[in-house]
């Protein structure tokens, strides 16, 4: 749960930083805080609307962008994506 919240916080901060390109850069200390109702990124209160994407349910990689765009069109601002970090590279044999 802590890892998921950390990931969501990081993704939100990165999205916020991307929206601020060309403006004053974010101060990393104190840029993100939260209370029991919402998260505050760079002084702006945000409500997390999250969805979850399972890549193994849609093995055609070219369609992933379309799915993520549909998440955004539905009003979601955060997505949880699971990956298999322990998987060796395709060129390596077990």
What pLDDT shows up at residue 71? 92
**Whether residues 2 and 43 fall in one domain:** yes
Pairing of strands 32-34, 39-41: antiparallel
Which range of 9-13, 43-47, 62-66, 80-84 scores highest in mean pLDDT? It is: 62-66
CB 8 within 8 A of CB 32: no
Task: Give the residue numbers spanning the domain of 66.
Answer: 50-94
**Whether residues 30 and 55 fall in one domain:** no
Give pLDDT tens digits for 10-38: 666 666 555 544 444 455 667 888 888 88
**Whether residues 35 and 57 fall in one domain:** no
What pLDDT shows up at residue 42? 84
**Whether residues 18 and 7 fall in one domain:** yes
pTM, 2 dp: 0.50
* CA atoms of 41 and 50, how far apart (whole Å): 16
**Whether residues 18 and 42 fall in one domain:** yes
What's the structural domain count of the chain? Answer: 2
**Whether residues 24 and 60 fall in one domain:** no
**Whether residues 75 and 90 fall in one domain:** yes
pLDDT grade, residue 52 (50/70/90)?
Answer: very high
């Amino acid at each position: 749960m802590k890892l998921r919240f950390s990931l969501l916080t990081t993704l939100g901060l990165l999205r916020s930083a991307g929206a601020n390109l060309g403006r004053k850069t974010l101060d990393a200390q104190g840029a993100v805080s939260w209370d029991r109702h919402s998260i505050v990124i760079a002084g702006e209160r945000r409500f997390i609307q999250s969805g979850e994407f399972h890549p193994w349910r849609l093995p055609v990689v070219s369609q992933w962008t379309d799915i993520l765009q549909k998440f955004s069109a539905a009003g979601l601002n955060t997505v949880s994506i699971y990956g298999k970090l322990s998987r060796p590279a395709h060129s390596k044999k077990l």
